[in-house]
Amino acid sequence: MGGDGTWVVRDLESTNGTYLNGNKLPPGEHAVRPRDVIQFGKVAVLVELVDATLDGPPSDQMIVTAAARSTFEEGLKRIAFDRNSMPRAGDQLLALLRAGHHLNHLESEDQLLESILNDAVSVLDAQRGAIVLADGDGPDVKLRLRALAVGSSESKGRFHFSKRLTARCYAKGESVLFCNVQDDGDLMTQSIADGAMSSVLCVLLRTPRRKLGVLHLDRGFFQSPFTEDDLLLADALAANVSAGIECAALLKKQRALFLKTITMLAQMVELRDEYTGGHTQRVTRYATMLGEKLDLPEDQLELLRLGTPLHDIGKIGISDEILRAPRRLTPQEFATMQTHTTLGAEYLGGIPELHPIIPIVRNHHERWDGTGYPDRMSKEEIPFLARIVAVADAFDAMTSHRPYHESKRGRSPVDAFAEVERQAGRQFDPKCAEAFLLIREEIMRTMYELMPETTGFHPAPSGPVTAIGLRQQDEAEATESASAEHYL
């Protein structure tokens, strides 16, 4: 500050000089005013006049903020310009390139965030990192993912991050570098002390429309503090995190809409057959429950949820005379009905996005012993998802009203479960049949939920499902071939 109380800037014989509003300053003091821009080297400072009251003497705490306009490209430029003076420049550039790769190959939001977070912890030499996301549209944020430096002895169960600094960054809407948090009483919290944090980076995750959360990174006492270059690099990585979150949200909406469309298409098939109403919904629920019991990975469960509603889509090509026949089909009609599997596969063949579910549609009537249709596959040759749907489909057919049941009524759940057990290793994959029997109580609860007027049982308020007055097959129906293979 000058003698007259005005603020001044003076160049201390720097190598590259100091610039005020784009003009290189000669020796001596020069007055600065609000909105002036002072530049030295690659650092530019905007002068602003702010009313503030200090509660005590200034500390040596250094807080640096990054404007929301920091971008991925700026991070690349900084690395390129400083590559000769930054030993880790190569690693940093690779981290940014990997972040772009993760984004371009987005499969799940969690995988993307975890990959970028681990890269950020590694390349920025942080002792730990966390991604904290907004909880809905409100002001609160909550921990989503966490990561520790390679070789860290800290338990993830005792993970530390500063909620205060994270909330401050989110509320201010800008990325912040806290260089020496231990020296500032206003910043010091129990989590910072317990986590032995010396320097903290809180990087805002945002899109042009909204704030998403915060990327939190910290270093310990035996590490050098974060720098402005670290802040810029972290901000560039955060841009990929933000884009990934937005892309994942969009994909989730698209998948939900797509699944709804698929379900409606499947229901159109059911409208042509008075006996199969609700079949698609029940089989999808049963198959999904079975897939979860078999510990399928999420991507396979997603295919199961998408493919099961369409398992009978080929029946669109079956005539009403056969599809709605109020009697058992003749051998010739049954052969025609069997073509719904290949017809369905042909229909979906023209939609590349649905190719992964074609095996469900084509092969859900294959048998473990190789006598099914259309390809007479056996055992492990049958696609696993098709084996799952085969059990769920046959069980629902056995317990539903069908014209080829002599009494027109479905079999009792107890009889149907017994049939699944008998057909294990013959019609059904033994592993799938066994898992299905292990969730029989959940299956029966779902039956009661979806068709309470026909199941003939009621779930107890708690504990095991109890059967009350289960329907018995007509004697004539009981004496005919009871194999589940007769149920479409």
In this prediction, residue 294 carries a pLDDT of: 96
> What structural domains and CATH numbers belong to the chain?
1-52 (2.60.200.20), 58-248 (3.30.450.40), 272-486 (1.10.3210.10)
**Average of per-residue pLDDT across 432-454:** 86
**Average of per-residue pLDDT across 417-431:** 95
Q: In what order do the strands lie in the sheet with 18-20?
A: 23-24, 18-20, 37-40, 43-46
Instruction: Give the predicted TM-score (pTM) of the model.
Output: 0.53
pLDDT bin (cut points 50, 70, 90) of residue 429 is very high
Whether the per-residue pLDDT at 477 is higher than 60: the answer is no
Lowest mean pLDDT among 388-392, 398-402, 414-418: 398-402
Distance between CA 122 and CA 59 in Å, rounded? 30
% of the chain residues with pLDDT over 90: 23
Whether the per-residue pLDDT at 431 is higher than 90: the answer is yes
In this prediction, residue 469 carries a pLDDT of: 30
Distance between CA 213 and CA 199 in Å, rounded? 20
> Which tops the pLDDT comparison, 400 or 159?
400
| Residue-wise pLDDT tens digits, 41-90 | 656 677 776 654 444 443 433 444 444 334 444 544 454 445 444 445 44
In this prediction, residue 43 carries a pLDDT of: 60
| Residue-wise pLDDT tens digits, 78-126 | 544 454 444 454 454 445 445 454 444 545 667 767 777 887 888 888 8
Amino acid at residue number 471: R
Please answer whether residues 187 and 178 qualify as being in contact, where contact means their C-beta atoms are separated by less than 8 angstroms. yes
Q: Which residues of 360-372 are buried (b: 16+ CB within 10 A; e: fewer)?
A: bbbbbbbbbeeeb
| Residue-wise pLDDT tens digits, 292-321 | 999 999 889 989 998 998 898 888 888 888
Whether the per-residue pLDDT at 233 is higher than 60: the answer is yes
Which residue, among 227, 234, 219, has the nearest Cα to 162 in the 3D structure?
219
Pull the structure tokens for residue 132.
Answer: 């904290």
Contact partners, residue 128, CB within 8 Å, separation at least 6: 121, 146, 147, 148, 149, 152, 154, 159, 160, 161, 195, 217, 218
In this prediction, residue 259 carries a pLDDT of: 73
Q: In what order do the strands lie in the sheet with 141-148?
A: 63-66, 175-178, 199-206, 211-219, 128-134, 141-148
Residue 216 parent element (H or E): strand 211-219
Q: What φ, ψ does residue 44 adopt, rounded to 5°?
A: -120, 135
Lowest mean pLDDT among 34-38, 127-131, 462-466: 462-466
pLDDT bin (cut points 50, 70, 90) of residue 455 is very low
In this prediction, residue 482 carries a pLDDT of: 40
Strands 211-219 and 199-206: antiparallel
Which residue, among 203, 208, 271, has the nearest Cα to 241 in the 3D structure?
203
Which residue, among 444, 443, 423, 413, has the nearest Cα to 288 in the 3D structure?
443
Pull the structure tokens for residue 67.
Answer: 């404007």
Sign (positive or negative) of CA dihedral 136, 141, 143, 148 = positive
| Residue-wise pLDDT tens digits, 130-168 | 888 877 655 555 655 555 554 455 555 556 777 888 888
In this prediction, residue 67 carries a pLDDT of: 42
**Average of per-residue pLDDT across 374-396:** 96
In this prediction, residue 137 carries a pLDDT of: 55
Strands 211-219 and 128-134: antiparallel
Q: What φ, ψ does residue 402 adopt, rounded to 5°?
A: -135, 145
Distance between CA 464 and CA 425 in Å, rounded? 27
